Amino acid sequence: MAHFDLPENRKFRICQFTDIHLEADERFALADKTYALIRQTIRDTKPDLITISGDLAWGGADRESIDTLVEELGAFDIPWAPVLGNHDGERLGDKEEGGRKIFAEFLLNRRNCLFEMGPESVDGWGNYVITVGGTVHHLMAGYGGGRKSILPGVCSRATIRRNHSMALDPIEPHSSELVGSGKLTRNPINEDMDDAAALVAPVFGVSIVVNAHGEHAGLFCGDFRAAWLKSCAFCQQYYGKEIAQEADVVIASCGGYPKDLNLYQGV
């Protein structure tokens, strides 16, 4: 598998293609126009990374047509990363899943290709997990975003319920002192979320912090966990405030709509 380092001190550019829909029969005559357009787009945009988000092929594609596309993309000496769509591999096996597995194996170790077989715990073949989320202070998990794309993001109700129950002290009838806004160390909710995310092992993370007007204030990309932790530090720097002493009564606002829809979000 190819590897690459994120460029420093300049913008990182991604060129995305989707639904190329290669065909092996009479439509394959159109492939030359498709390849010409791909070549021209790559030359014009000069990307750092090329992605293909599904359906490289149509139902009639065969190994020859797919191999031609793979060689075309590899020739640019630019890392490229495909994921498979519902049509990929339909002609390569007796069943869709079998064909997609053959397709996925066909992409392994190709020139400049970042493709890897996804973990068996994730449904499908050749999965990449890339998280995109917003980082804010969170009442229980310390901070939102990052690993919350996995838990609670794509988890079952039972898993979410179990995770949230960790907000309670295991002995006394009150909230745990380990959970709270800005708390990550020894926070059982945060640690459980971290463990869940590690099972999926996202390959890339995008963490966004916005200002009071909903505009982007900070953008942190790269290693899934490292980028998120930097966004947490940024969030604390600009939204956190040290309090000199505790007060008997605190009057606070959640900032209005939409967080004033109910008491839970308001807190």
- Strands 130-134 and 216-222, by their bridges, are unpaired
What's the pLDDT at 94? 45
At 59, is the pLDDT very low, low, confident or very high (cuts 50, 70, 90)?
low
Q: Which range has highest mean pLDDT (53-62, 119-128, 204-213)? A: 204-213
pTM of the full structure: 0.59
Question: What average pLDDT does this structure show over 50-60?
Answer: 75
What's the pLDDT at 141? 96
Percent of the chain with pLDDT strictly greater than 90: 40
* Phi-psi domain of 4 (left: phi exceeds 0; alpha: psi -120 through 50; beta: other): beta
pLDDT at residue 166 tops 80 = yes
Tell me the average pLDDT of the chain.
Answer: 83
pLDDT at residue 31 tops 50 = yes
Q: Which two tokens stand for residue 153?
A: 């993001």
The residue ranking higher by pLDDT, 242 or 103, is 242
| pLDDT tens sequence across 137-146 | 998 999 999 9
At 172, is the pLDDT very low, low, confident or very high (cuts 50, 70, 90)?
very high
In whole angstroms, give the CA distance from residue 59 to residue 73: 21
